[in-house]
Amino acid sequence: MILICIAILLVSLACLWLWGNMNKVKGLPPGPVGFPILGSLLKLGANPHLDLHKLSQKYGPIMHLRLGLVPTIVVSSPQAAELFLKTHDLVFASRPPIEAGKVMFYNQKDVSFSVYGSYWRNMRKMCTLELLSHSKINSFRSTREQELDLLIKFTREAANNGTTVDISAKVATLTADMTCIIVFGKKYSDKDLDDKGFKATMQELMSLAATPNIADFIPYIGALDVNGLTRRMKAIGKIFDEFLEKIIDEHIRSEKKDDNKTKDFVDVMLGFVGTEESDYRIERSNIKAIIMVRHIVDLSFKKIVLLPYKISHSHTN
């Protein structure tokens, strides 16, 4: 206990020293000074976007503040946004490293969290040309039509029987099944991932990735895992890692048996493993990271687009 207190004291002194040095930097935009170590974190409440808007009204459209020990620039006007996102976009292209990217996304080897550079450009090129090209998407057209026909048949039978159908849930399942086929080569049931189910586990992963983590703002106390997020992220990461390892192993075995099948995303990426003739020099961890982000984007899209709506037999006429 005494050692922990001494460690916290030393870390606090180091943070105070760093905070003092950072406040001496000149040429920064106006903004609140903030508190030692915490910076302006205490100024942000349950609706940080509203709090930042109020601060921008006081300090201007380009505002500087510190979130913990992390220097942050807040842009609040279209003209300023154009400077950051268009005129000087290469300078601000990278996302800052966060604990979630390190723990759950294989040390930021995915396209969303990886640092802007040659690796990010090559992975984006691979996704665009090899995974999401028109010819690749079109190769699964018959599969998509079959899945859609199944949904139409189910809805027609339910209408004839006078049964209420939750269209949002059915379309969400249709989208998930199509994504599984295109990415993995086959459909997986909700319990194939974990006892809690695929959807619940994925939502927990998304929640952990979006929850503010004190370790991202004060890295020197990250090892203490003050709010317990890192422990939970490691548990979720292990669940997905075992699932993705199983998928990759299944593809390696099936590739030896059938060379004529339509290649899904995992097949395509496995084709680049160990090759020196391509810019896409990837390993299993890269494949798993890219697959993870693919499913998060897909689930996020469904949550935004699919509004609750139920259709009964009287709506089918």
Tell me the domains of the chain and their CATH numbers: 28-92 (no CATH), 118-315 (1.10.630.10)
The rounded distance, in Å, linking the Cα atoms of 287 and 184 is 12
pTM, two decimal places:
0.73
Q: What is the DSSP string of 90-147?
A: TTT-SPPP-HHHHHTTTTTTSTTTSPTTHHHHHHHHHIIIIISSHHHHHTTHHHHHHH
pLDDT per residue, tens digit, the chain (317 aa), is 665 656 666 666 665 555 555 555 567 889 998 888 888 888 888 888 899 999 999 999 999 999 888 888 999 999 999 998 899 888 888 878 889 888 988 988 888 888 888 888 888 888 888 888 888 888 888 888 888 999 999 999 999 998 888 888 888 788 878 888 888 888 777 677 777 777 788 788 888 888 888 889 888 888 888 889 999 999 999 998 998 898 899 888 877 666 667 788 888 888 888 777 677 888 889 999 988 876 555 544 444 333 333 333 333 43
SS3 (DSSP) at 283:
coil
Task: For residue 55, count other CB atoms closer than 10 A to its CB.
Answer: 19
